[in-house]
Structure 1
């Protein structure tokens, strides 16, 4: 069964092998060496002042960020189920908040955010997604962040990049907190969140002695420990070992193709320059597959759901979405439904992680065969013809 859901994503064999090595005690020099490599890889990827690894899902990092940075009022952006989570976090912690909501296929505008801030000077924190995975929507995060900081430099901007980190380059110039998760583009099992922090965020933590985040999720405590290549509490050792292997694959990608990179030997050291080159190739590869998949979708007479689609996944709107998913699963491809009220009106095909072209092609073939089996259109191979034509045009073959 090919797993093409937008998280968890498949874990490559070489990462599974890395995580299957004997477990190390987390208070040893041997694990500190592994932890240092993981930090180096994240710093090269995020280009932020500090990076933290937490033993939690992404929601844990979301809640920890809101509680430690929002001291007056939160402005939460809800363009889908995961954007709604910001408001739920505020509500559960008796924190004042204002929510701006859109239809799940529509991104919030810069102007709407600015008007909300202008109408309420008590807002000190803005929380939003990079990619709202409930409907495959990409928000104009970087533009919003730039305009917000131009209006008020002191507002802390928290961005959930769980389904964008590792998929595409994210400009973190105006972002204070960037959240990631292990089970997406990193191709690891669930259970670890990642937090990138700006210099502004660190100063805000240090200048606000009152800590509302509880004992476990205390970013300053974690920073103190993680800068020494250890953690305040028990580290997710297996996942961190797998993360290092992911970065070794990315580094190998700088000078080889995907197959060779996935099968590369364990690197002695990680090099920031080679990592940057590897990330560039990984981002290009993911974008090529996403755009080629969308060409195939259009050729098959189907339409994307979001008005501003994210590269992390293709969310396809169809009245028979549930039947199409079931048919594709019978052909060996597991794609995801939508969330809540759009559960049965869209299906989502993942592009996160280092996906082989032949696997993505198989998904397109399964989709076209399913449309034929359901009497929606006759199979003529146009899906894969369009898919490969797009890859050829992008020079991705």
Structure 2
């Protein structure tokens, strides 16, 4: 197979964020220096808030709150802010990021219950239904839509229907799904949606956000704050009512994110999902031809991440370093999945990028196998 080598100044990022971005997104980061208390900054923030709400399917009844920080900042803002003192949240956990939700509520001493399904197992809506029926103290449910530690896509719509039927609120970590997987805040009964710029929305790191109905955000006035910097209600009131950020935002990153949102809204989630799916299928077909074993069966996999067992006799560090020298960056998994690595296909990638990776994989594996022999 004849494959062109990637330019030396471009790493092909096959990690699940940050991603290779569109040139217009990269250029937008060079916006002029500006003051965050000026009207033009407020106008920028309000435009981006509106577009972020739209990407999740929100209409005029929804808005978003921007936060300077990675997706975990927005997660912590939600999971520390939305549960009242007399409430309780059910954390659905089937991987590293479900465990992260549990750790966040534990740190903030939010009353909670943890329902573990085990890594690589999908979350069972029937079990969620059973727990909610037996435990009226639960007021909120926390779910990771795409559990990137395993590549598992969880049944969001079915769980949303269960939670809504019981009259509870649903908070969703959509950090690795929003923009490419099927998701709609209304149809999926999502009360609190957490997203970030630098994954499927193909922006740069440094800004995250929360999408919610306005009435849910307004109701936070009666929930005592558990944190200072990440107080979701404080950020909402400042951005929405005072027309100014609560603290200093990353304006250049937000400017770049607006361009990424424009591109995402123009392409559409369905089209981006189809683009990602085609690239994922190319990765999986190529690795299957090479005898690779996958962590999950096909029906459980998201369209943007593939978890693969390492070739026999090769360590992750050896594979990673060899591929990086060729211009391709793959990703490790958590220690619970030793012997597995991740290949993501988020961002501005092409079929040539995937073919180049597969060719580099062949060269690296052949070299490492030869050395071991």
SS of the aligned residue for 2:113 comes to strand
Which residue is equivalent to 2:252? 238
* 2:173 aligned with 1:160: yes
* 2:15 aligned with 1:5: yes
Give 1:204 shift. 4.2
CA distance in 1, matches of 2:50, 2:217: 19
Which residue is equivalent to 1:51? 64
Give 1:161 shift. 0.8
Equivalent residue in structure 2 for 1:285, among 275, 284, 287: 275
CA distance in 2, matches of 1:37, 1:95: 33
Q: 1:47 to 1:144 in 2, by over 3 A?
A: same
SS of the aligned residue for 1:303 comes to coil
CA distance in 2, matches of 1:87, 1:217: 17
SS of the aligned residue for 1:224 comes to helix
For residues 236-288 of structure 1, give each alpha carbon's deviation from its aligned partner in whole angstroms, at most 9, with x where no partner exists: 201110111213434xxxxxxxxxxxxxxxxxxxxxxxx35544432221122
Supply the RMSD in Å over aligned alpha carbons. Answer: 2.3
SS of the aligned residue for 2:244 comes to coil
Equivalent residue in structure 1 for 2:263, among 244, 249, 252: 249
Using structure 2 for the length normalisation, give the TM-score: 0.85
Q: 1:122 to 1:237 in 2, by over 3 A?
A: same
Which residue is equivalent to 1:265? none
Which residue is equivalent to 1:22? 32
Query: Any conservation in 1 of the 2:15–2:342 contact (CA below 8 Å)?
Result: yes
Using structure 1 for the length normalisation, give the TM-score: 0.80
Which residue is equivalent to 1:38? 48
Which residue is equivalent to 2:216? 201
CA distance in 1, matches of 2:114, 2:315: 30
- For structure 1, the residue ranges without an aligned partner over 5 or more in a row are 251-274, 377-397
Give 1:317 shift. 2.0
Equivalent residue in structure 2 for 1:116, among 131, 135, 144: 131
Give 1:370 shift. 3.1
1:307-322 to structure 2, matched below 5 A, reads 307=297, 308-318=300-310, 319=312, 320=314, 322=316
* 2:100 aligned with 1:85: yes
Moved more, 225-234 or 140-149: 225-234
- For structure 2, the residue ranges without an aligned partner over 5 or more in a row are 1-10
Query: Any conservation in 2 of the 1:313–1:349 contact (CA below 8 Å)?
Result: yes
Q: 1:375 to 1:215 in 2, by over 3 A?
A: closer
Query: Any conservation in 1 of the 2:91–2:102 contact (CA below 8 Å)?
Result: yes
Which residue is equivalent to 2:145? 130
CA distance in 2, matches of 1:33, 1:93: 33
Which residue is equivalent to 1:382? none
